[in-house]
């Protein structure tokens, strides 16, 4: 574990091999796994769970109610929310967000609270996500719409649900994509 002296890490629940860079703030309730990279200028609130091998690029604020599973990649300046009806100085109902294992969020995308980003899903840079995202799908735009299916390796699948990059094949079972 490497905690840069210019960060403010108040949590003691940070796994081995995790690195926290300059000017990041991690509140005491946050739980972060092993081998993560928390880049500079991040803020991680109390009610946050982050798995293992997660990359958080610079300028990402992860609020209460957000769960990040293993091997997720969060690009620079990705924006999360946790309040669907925001009003200053009012109590609010926490709207939770889950990023499932292997998902990647492109730079500067916005994830509206209350949604789940599926396993190995890919969100294009600058997208605004307003609904649940199924596993292995690629979404982009504002509001984000599904553009294609995507392989676990991160490359698009062709119409036969084949990945020409790593040669994997997929099929649809009960409206869900599964790897053969
Ligand atoms: Zn592939």
Distance in Å, CA 167 to ligand 1 centroid: 6
What DSSP character marks residue 88? Answer: T
Distance in Å, CA 156 to ligand 1 centroid: 8
Distance in Å, CA 173 to ligand 1 centroid: 19
pLDDT given for residue 161 in this prediction: 98
pLDDT given for residue 68 in this prediction: 99
Distance in Å, CA 102 to ligand 1 centroid: 13
Distance in Å, CA 100 to ligand 1 centroid: 18
Distance in Å, CA 31 to ligand 1 centroid: 31
pLDDT given for residue 1 in this prediction: 87
What DSSP character marks residue 156? Answer: B
pLDDT tens for the chain, 180 residues: list them. Answer: 899 999 999 999 999 999 999 999 999 999 999 999 999 999 999 999 999 999 999 999 999 999 999 999 999 999 999 999 999 999 999 999 999 999 999 999 999 999 999 999 999 999 999 999 999 999 999 999 999 999 999 999 999 999 999 999 999 999 999 999
Distance in Å, CA 5 to ligand 1 centroid: 39
- The CA-based angle 67-84-146, given to 5 degrees, is 65
Distance in Å, CA 130 to ligand 1 centroid: 27
Closest by CA position to 54, among listed 67, 41, 35:
35
How would you label 148-165 residue by residue, b for 16+ Cβ within 10 Å and e otherwise? ebbbbeeeebeeebebee
Distance in Å, CA 4 to ligand 1 centroid: 36
Q: Are 73 and 108 in contact (CB under 8 A)?
A: no
Distance in Å, CA 161 to ligand 1 centroid: 10
Closest by CA position to 124, among listed 102, 101, 148, 100:
148
* pTM exceeds 0.95, yes or no: yes
């Amino acid at each position: 574990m490497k905690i840069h002296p210019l960060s403010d890490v108040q949590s003691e629940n940070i796994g081995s091999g995790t690195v926290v860079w300059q000017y990041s703030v991690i509140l005491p309730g946050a739980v972060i796994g092993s081998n993560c990279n928390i880049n500079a200028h991040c803020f991680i609130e109390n009610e946050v769970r982050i798995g293992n091998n997660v990359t958080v690029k610079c300028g990402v604020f992860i609020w209460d109610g957000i769960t990040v599973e293993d091997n997720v990649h969060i690009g620079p300046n990705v924006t999360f929310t946790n309040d669907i009806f925001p009003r200053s100085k009012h109590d609010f109902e926490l709207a939770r967000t889950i990023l499932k294992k292997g998902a990647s969020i492109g730079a500067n995308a916005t994830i509206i609270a209350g949604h789940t980003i599926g396993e190995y899903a890919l969100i294009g840079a600058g997208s605004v996500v307003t609904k649940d995202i199924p596993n292995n799908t690629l979404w982009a735009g504002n509001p984000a719409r599904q553009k294609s299916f995507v392989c676990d390796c991160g490359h698009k699948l062709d119409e036969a649900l084949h990945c020409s990059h790593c040669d994997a094949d997929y099929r649809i079972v009960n409206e869900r994509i599964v790897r053969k």
